[in-house]
């Protein structure tokens, strides 16, 4: 019998594959538009991007992988700026 954690892991995996496969063309604007609309904490967003990078690797999409890595870096930089801003406001 499957527990809730394994069911969620399977659903998450399927979601990542569907998300990537629906944007398999060379026009990645829609993919990044969708990625910008993903909600959740930074860990969740980074894990999601990491899984899409993995899927892009399966299809040998090197340019997409580079773009996704840059996107992930910018996400982390924005989060760092938000934390710095919050820290400055509380002083």
| Residue among 46, 67, 53, 65 at smallest CA distance from 19 | 53
* Mean of pLDDT over the chain: 79
pLDDT of residue 66: 94
Q: In whole angstroms, give the CA distance from residue 82 to residue 37.
A: 18
Q: In whole angstroms, give the CA distance from residue 88 to residue 2.
A: 46
User: Model's pTM, two decimal places?
Assistant: 0.70
pLDDT of residue 36: 86
Sequential pLDDT tens for the chain (91 residues): 556 677 677 777 777 776 666 666 667 887 888 888 888 888 888 888 998 898 889 888 898 899 999 999 999 998 887 777 766 666 6
């Amino acid at each position: 019998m499957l527990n809730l954690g394994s069911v969620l892991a399977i659903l998450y995996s399927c979601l990542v594959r569907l998300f990537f496969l629906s944007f398999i063309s060379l026009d990645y604007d829609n993919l990044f538009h969708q990625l910008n609309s993903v909600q959740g904490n930074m860990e969740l967003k980074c894990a999601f991007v990491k899984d899409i990078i993995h899927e892009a690797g399966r299809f040998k999409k090197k340019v997409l992988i580079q773009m996704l890595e840059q996107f992930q870096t910018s996400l982390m930089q924005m989060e760092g700026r938000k934390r710095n801003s919050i820290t400055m406001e509380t002083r």
